[in-house]
Amino acid sequence: MRLSLLNSLLFGLCLLPLASSAMQIQPGLWEISSSNMQVDGQALPDMQQMLEQMKNLPPEQRQMMERMMAEQGVQLGDQGVRVCMSEAQIKAQDIPLQDPKSGCSHEVTERSTELWKFRFSCPDGQGEGETRFLSDREFTTQVQGTYGGQSSSMQSHARWIAADCGGLQPR
């Protein structure tokens, strides 16, 4: 898997912190899968293809990628990447899924219990999106914008897995 592909996926995950606090979602382990990722109109591999590519990497390369992801508070799951959200983070509406050093900011432009619309700005990108809360254990996000001078879009689906995060620590 190319490093830029992982960066695209992690960029999409950077947008989730603002989405996670509208509805009182469950704390614990969440799995986020992405679909319909495009850069300049070109489709990127779907989440299942990326997971398969990761599984097929030489062991030392895979370990390096898993270490990089773990440093971001992310691990590979069955259908996507997994993150841990603590009860304290959810109650405080402070879900720091993005790297605090990323330089990204966001603004919620419309908010209801089921839908948030937002704008974001990062050093290499900007755009807008919306998150729909389907329940306290599921939400979807759509994002479009520019990243590194290229137009991009993606959809993601987040689902609650378990109350116990195992060895994965909240960010």
Per-residue tens of pLDDT for the chain, all 171 residues: 344 444 444 545 544 544 444 567 899 999 998 888 888 889 888 788 888 888 889 999 989 988 888 887 888 888 888 999 888 887 776 555 455 566 788 788 888 888 888 888 888 889 999 989 899 999 999 999 998 889 999 999 999 999 999 888 887
- Is residue 96 one of the residues assigned to a domain? yes
Q: Supply the pLDDT for residue 35.
A: 86
What is the structure's pLDDT at 97? 45
Q: What is the pLDDT of residue 19?
A: 45
Residue 167 in domain? no
User: According to the model, what pLDDT value does residue 16 have?
Assistant: 52
**pLDDT of 103:** 77
Domain count, the chain: 1
- pTM of the entire structure? 0.79
169 domain residue, yes or no: no
Q: What is the pLDDT of residue 142?
A: 92
* Residue span of the structural domain in which 9 resides: 3-162
Using alpha carbons only, what angle is made at residue 99 by residues 27 and 9, rounded to the nearest 5 degrees? 85
Determine the pLDDT at residue 94: 58
Which residues make Cβ contacts (< 8 Å) with residue 171, sequence separation at least 6?
Answer: 72, 73, 83, 84, 96, 97
Tell me if 56 is assigned to some domain.
yes
**Is residue 168 in a domain?**
no
Q: Is 171 contained in some domain? A: no
